[in-house]
Structure 1
Amino acid sequence: MTRTNTGLTARTPQGTVVGRSVSTPDGSAVAFLGIPYAHAERFKAPQPAMSWPGERLCVAAGPAAPQDPIRADVMDESGCLNANVWVPANAAASPLPVLVWIHGGGHLYGSNTNALCDGARLAAAEGIIVVAINYRLGALGYLSLASVLGSEYADSSNLALLDAVAALRWVSVSIAEFGGDPARVTIMGQSAGAVMVASLLAMPSASGLFSRALIESGSGERARDAGHGERLTADLLTELAATPTDLLTMPAEQIVAGQEALVRRRSAGRPNLDLAFAPLIDGRTLTARPVDLIREGASADVELVIGTNRNEASGFVDLRAEPAVDVLEAHVEQLMHGSPAASVVTYRAALDADTNRPNSLAETLEACMADLIYRQPSQRLLDARRDASAWTRSYLFEWQRPDADWIRRAGHSLELPFIFRHIDDSADAEAEVGVEPPLQLRDQMSAMWGALVRDEDLQPWPTYGEHRRTAIFSEHFRIESDPRGSIRRLVAQHNA
C-alpha cells in the first residue's frame, strides 16, 4: 500500500485500487471498499475478476447479492462478488495477519456492509487487516441444475462456497500489496457464514488458503443431500411457473421473489425460518457432511474456535409467553432423534440442572431450539476434532442486556458488535446492545480475537481437551468445564 497524489493505493492482479482514510475512536485505518475479487455467469463457478485500466476508486461499498429488497439498499448480480479491506494506518510491523469475515443471514440475506461488523475499528485497535466478502445467496447460490440443464451447471449447488474459495484465492495473491501476510489468514463466519466456514474446512479446494478458523453459532451438519437440492429446484420452478431454461434469463428480482414465497410457505407454522437453501452434498464441492469429513481428518492441521451464544433461539421464541406444550414436545423429539425415552420432563430437568434454577416452558423451548439448531451441532463438531493435530478452543457468550423489557437475552449475533468494537458508536449499536454496554467485555473480546489472528498466546483461554474447557464471555471472563453438560449428555445418550 502506498500513498500517492490521488490517494491511498494498492496494486492487485486486476489493477490499482484507491482507498480512503478512516478515523475511528480506536485509531486510523485505510478502507478499500467494493473491490471485485471475481466475476461469474449466472449459476456458474466464479472466475478471477477482470482487470481494469488505470486506478479504480474503491471508497464506497459495492453492491450486495440479490435478496429480498427490504434487506439491502444496493444489489447487483453481476457485481456482487466484491470485498472490503481495512488496513490499520499505523501498524507497527509488516506483513500483517489477516482476518477474512464471512457474514451470516440464513443463506438468503446479508452483505459485507453491516455497520456493526465494519472492520475499521478492529483493524485499527488490533493491528490486523480485516477483509469482508460478499457471496451469492439463495437460489442464485444454491440450486441443483445439473440434472435439468446439463453438466455445464454442475457447480450450481454450491456457488456460495465456491465464491468464498475465490475470495480466499484473491486474498492469497493480493493481500501482500495491502501489507498483509498471505501465510497468516484466519477465516471467521457467524450463523450461515459459520456454516460456510465449517464447509470450507471440509473442502479440498480450500485447503492451504487459511491456517485458522472461527465458527460462531454455526453447524457442520446443515449440508443436505443431492435429492434435497433437486426437490428444492423443482419446488422453486413450480413457484415461478417456469422451466429450467427460463431461470437463465429471468430477472434476478423475479427469482428472489419466488424464493421468498417458497421460504415463507415452507416456514408456515414454524417459529423459525426454514433453511431450505444451504450447502449441498454434490460429490464435487462437498462429498459428505462437513462434520463427518472433519471427524475423518479434514483440516486437522487448522486451528479452530467453535462457540455459541446462550440464547441463540430467543429471536424465535417469545420468552414472555408460554408456548403450546405440543410445540415443545415436537422440538424435544426432534432434538432426541425421535427416541421413545425422550420427553419434555427429562430435557427440562437437564436444563434446570445446568442453569441451577427452574425454567419456564418458554425458556425450555428457546433452549431446546438453540440446542437443536446451534449448540448440539457445535458440540458434535467439537467432538469431531478430538484427534486433530491442531488445537481447538470453545466459547459460550452469556452477556445479556440488563433492560427489563429486553427479551433476546444473550441472543443470536449479539457477540458481533463486541468483537468488531461497535457497541458505542451508532444508533444501530444502541438498538443492539443498549445504552451502557460493558466496555471491558468489548475490549476483552476484540483483544482475544485479535490475538487469535496474530497467533499470540491465548492464556487464560485453554484448549478444549478432554475436560471440555470453555471460555465464558460475560461481565466477567471465566473458564468452565463442560458448560451445559447435563443437556449434552442427555442428547448424546439419545443420539448414540
Structure 2
Amino acid sequence: MQTQFRVSRRGLMVSAAALGTLAATRALAGDLGAATAIVNTRNGPVRGRWESGSIQSFKGLRYAAPPIGALRFRPPQSIAPWTSVVDAAEFGNAAIQSPGQADMPFDEKHSEDCLFLNVWTSQLAGKRPVMVWFHGGGFSSGAASRPTYWGDHFARDGVVLVSVNHRLNVFGYTQLPDSWGPDYASSGIAGMLDCVEALKWVQANIAMFGGDPNNVTIFGESGGGAKISLLLGMPPAKGLYHKAIIQSGAALGATPRPYAQALGGALTELLGVKPGDAAALAAVDTQKVFDSQQAAIDKVAKLDRGGFLSGGFTPSIDGRALPRGPFAPEAADMAAGIPLIIGTNKDEGTMFALGDKALPTLTDAGLEERVRAAYPKQADKLIPALRATYPGYSPGELAVAMNGNKLFWVDSVVLAERKVRQGAPVWMYRMDRELPTMGGRLKAGHATELSYVFGTYDNIRDFVGSGDAPARMSRQMRTAWIAFATTGNPQSPAIPAWPPYDLVKRQTMIFNLESRVESDPHAQLRQLMKS
C-alpha cells in the first residue's frame, strides 16, 4: 500500500505543506504537539500529545510486561507500576516480523518487547463509546501504528479509539509440548492472550481517557477480523467487550492442538533446546527463532493442520483460554449476547493475485481447470454462476473472484448464520467501490475499505485515488461503525435503512458511492460454494 507522504512513528507526515496546514490548526487546550495533562493510569502516570482538531493521542502505552527472556512464549504478565511520568508521544515497538511491507512506516521498529497500545480521545472527561482495533496481517505481520489506522478521525467524531500491538507468528503462537509444563500450556495462543490483556487494560483505564468501559466495541480486518472471531470464543475475554465488527476475516475454527504441539516440538529441536529447558529457550537469539519458522513448518508438513488459515504459527486450541473453534461447529455460547457487523469486499482475491502472471492470459479452459480443482463436484454449475455474477470479468478475473469468495466471503456467511441463530442482531455488508489506482487491478479488493472506516484516506491518496469518492465512502461506513459502537445499531442518516441479517431475506448493505440494500446477494454462488 503506497502512501502520499513518508510517515514516521511519531504520527506526523513529513511534508512541509502538510505540516503547515496542521500547524495552522490550534488545539483548544494546547498547540499541536504540546503535552497533554497527566493521566494517572492504574499502572502509573502518562502524558500524551495534542494533535490537529483538538485531539489528544497517547501512543506506546505498555499494557503488560515485556514478553522477553524468561517470559518468551508465556502468557502476558502484569506490568510493574511506575511513579515517574511516562511520555506517550511515540508509537511503541511492533512485533517481530518480516521487513519491507508496503504500508510499513520507514522508521517502524520491531521487537519481542511489543505489548503496547495507543489511545486517541477528544476529552479526558465523559463517557464516550470505545472502539478497540486489532490490526490485520494474518497472524504474522502488521502493526497498530500504520497510517491507515490512526484514530484521530474517530476521536473527532466522539469515539475513544484504542489500537493494539501484540505478539505475532512464532513469538505469539508456538504451542510447546506438554513436557514443558503448565507455564507453557497456552503458549500457542499467547498472542491472543495479549489481546485479552489489552482489553483488561481498557476496562481498568479507559474511563480516565473519557471512554466508557461498559460500551466497548472490538473490531478488526483480515487477520484482525480473525482475532475478533477468536475473542468471541475465549472465556477470559468475556465481559471485556459488548459489540464486535469483523471485516474480511471470519475465523470459524483454530489450529488443532496436536499439530500445534508437533510444530512447537519441531521448532525447539531446530533451536537445540531440550524439553523443559526454559533458560536455554530464553537465551536463543531473537532472529534465530524467527528464521527457524519455515524449517519447523516443513518438518510437520504432512500432519493435519485442521484447515485453519495456512497452518504454521497461528492460534491453537488449548482447551482453556480457547476451548474449541469459536464458530465450529456452532457459535460459542459466550458470543450469544454480542451484536455483530460482519462483511467482506466484492473483490477480496485481487490483492493476493497481483503476482500471478498467468491470470491476464488465462483462457476459458484454464478457468475451468482452476474451478474444477477447487470445487470438483460443483464446477459444472459454478462456472456459469461465476460468469452470471460477474459480467464482463475475464477468465482470470473470474478465477480471482472465486478464490476471494472462498477465502473470505463463504466463511463470513457461515459465521453470520451461526451467530444469527443465537438471537443477538447481526448486520451483513459488502463493499463494492472499485479503486481507480494501479490500473484498476485491485477493484474492490482486500483491505480497500480500511481508510473509509478510519477516515484516513488522505494519508494514502496514492492508494485510494484522488477526488471526493473516498470521502463519500467514509461518510457512509465510518458513521455506520460509529452508530453501532454508540448504540449497538448501525443506522445512520448517511446510508439507507440497514435491516439485520436473517436466514430468509439475508439483507445485506452494499456500500458504494450510492449504497443500497440487497436480499441474498450472489445467492447462487453462496449455495454452490457452501455445499
SS of 1:8's equivalent in the other structure is coil
Which residue of 68, 80, 84 maps to 1:50? 80
Q: Which moved more, 1:402-411 or 1:35-44?
A: 402-411
The superposition leaves residues 10-31 of structure 1 with CA deviations (integer Å, 9 ceiling, x where unpaired) of 11110111011000xxx32100
Correspondence list, 1:310-329, <5 A? 310-318=346-354, 321-323=360-362
SS of 1:176's equivalent in the other structure is helix
Between Structure 1 and Structure 2, the one with more strand by share is: 1
* Other-structure match for 1:157: 188
Which residue of 58, 64, 76 maps to 1:32? 58
1:448 aligns with 2:480: yes
* Other-structure match for 2:501: 464
Distance 1:322 1:230, change over 3 A: farther
* Other-structure match for 1:84: 118
Distance 1:44 1:137 in 2: 13
1:253 aligns with 2:282: no
Distance 2:165 2:515 in 1: 33
The two structures have a TM-score, normalised by structure 2, of: 0.82
1:62 aligns with 2:98: no
Cα shift at 1:430 = 1.6
1:354 aligns with 2:354: no
**Contact 1:423–1:437 (CA under 8 A) maintained in structure 2:** no
Distance 2:205 2:372 in 1: 49
Correspondence list, 1:16-27, <5 A? 16-23=45-52, 27=53
SS of 1:173's equivalent in the other structure is helix
Cα shift at 1:283 = 1.1
SS of 1:321's equivalent in the other structure is helix
The superposition leaves residues 100-127 of structure 1 with CA deviations (integer Å, 9 ceiling, x where unpaired) of 0000111111111010111112211x21
**Contact 1:106–1:192 (CA under 8 A) maintained in structure 2:** yes
1:197 aligns with 2:228: yes
Distance 2:362 2:311 in 1: 22
Distance 1:323 1:156 in 2: 44
Distance 1:94 1:7, change over 3 A: closer
Distance 1:327 1:402, change over 3 A: same
Q: Which moved more, 1:230-239 or 1:407-416?
A: 230-239
Correspondence list, 1:84-483, <5 A? 84-89=118-123, 94-124=126-156, 126-237=157-268, 240=271, 243=274, 245=277, 246-259=280-293, 274=310, 276-292=312-328, 294-295=330-331, 297-318=333-354, 321-323=360-362, 332=371, 336=375, 341-343=377-379, 345-355=380-390, 357=391, 359-403=393-437, 405-424=439-458, 426=459, 429-436=460-467, 438=469, 439-455=471-487, 458-459=490-491, 460-465=497-502, 466-483=504-521
Q: Which residues of structure 2 form unaligned runs of 5+?
A: 1-28, 302-308, 492-496
Cα shift at 1:444 = 1.4
Distance 1:263 1:444, change over 3 A: farther
SS of 1:367's equivalent in the other structure is helix
**Contact 1:217–1:412 (CA under 8 A) maintained in structure 2:** yes
Q: Structure 1 counterpart of 2:223, which letter? A: A
* Other-structure match for 2:13: none
Cα shift at 1:401 = 1.6
Percentage of pairs with the same residue: 32
* Other-structure match for 1:270: none
Distance 2:270 2:485 in 1: 44
Q: Structure 2 counterpart of 1:62, which letter? A: G
Distance 1:175 1:402, change over 3 A: same
Cα shift at 1:240 = 5.0
SS of 1:417's equivalent in the other structure is helix
Cα shift at 1:213 = 0.2
**Contact 2:238–2:334 (CA under 8 A) maintained in structure 1:** no
SS of 1:489's equivalent in the other structure is helix
**Contact 2:426–2:501 (CA under 8 A) maintained in structure 1:** yes
Alignment RMSD, CA only? 2.8
**Contact 1:68–1:256 (CA under 8 A) maintained in structure 2:** no
Q: Which moved more, 1:241-250 or 1:39-48?
A: 241-250
The superposition leaves residues 358-381 of structure 1 with CA deviations (integer Å, 9 ceiling, x where unpaired) of 543212221221122111011100
**Contact 2:177–2:265 (CA under 8 A) maintained in structure 1:** no
Q: Structure 1 counterpart of 2:413, which letter? A: Q
Cα shift at 1:335 = 5.2
Cα shift at 1:303 = 0.5
Cα shift at 1:334 = 6.9
**Contact 1:354–1:483 (CA under 8 A) maintained in structure 2:** no
**Contact 1:335–1:491 (CA under 8 A) maintained in structure 2:** no
Q: Structure 2 counterpart of 1:197, which letter? A: I
Cα shift at 1:232 = 2.4
Cα shift at 1:208 = 0.7
Q: Structure 2 counterpart of 1:299, which letter? A: A
The superposition leaves residues 168-204 of structure 1 with CA deviations (integer Å, 9 ceiling, x where unpaired) of 0110010011111000000001111111110110111
The two structures have a TM-score, normalised by structure 1, of: 0.88
Distance 1:184 1:250 in 2: 42
* Other-structure match for 2:305: none
Distance 1:6 1:314 in 2: 43
SS of 2:518's equivalent in the other structure is strand
SS of 2:48's equivalent in the other structure is strand
Cα shift at 1:236 = 3.5
**Contact 2:177–2:262 (CA under 8 A) maintained in structure 1:** no
Cα shift at 1:327 = 8.0
Distance 1:483 1:306 in 2: 15
Distance 2:325 2:373 in 1: 19
Distance 1:114 1:309 in 2: 21
The superposition leaves residues 194-220 of structure 1 with CA deviations (integer Å, 9 ceiling, x where unpaired) of 111101101111111111000011122
Distance 2:447 2:206 in 1: 28
**Contact 2:244–2:338 (CA under 8 A) maintained in structure 1:** yes
Cα shift at 1:422 = 1.1
Cα shift at 1:448 = 1.1
Cα shift at 1:140 = 0.8
* Other-structure match for 2:15: none
The superposition leaves residues 418-443 of structure 1 with CA deviations (integer Å, 9 ceiling, x where unpaired) of 1111112x3xx123202235121111
Distance 2:406 2:281 in 1: 34
SS of 2:485's equivalent in the other structure is helix
**Contact 1:190–1:218 (CA under 8 A) maintained in structure 2:** yes
Cα shift at 1:325 = 8.1
Distance 1:174 1:243 in 2: 41
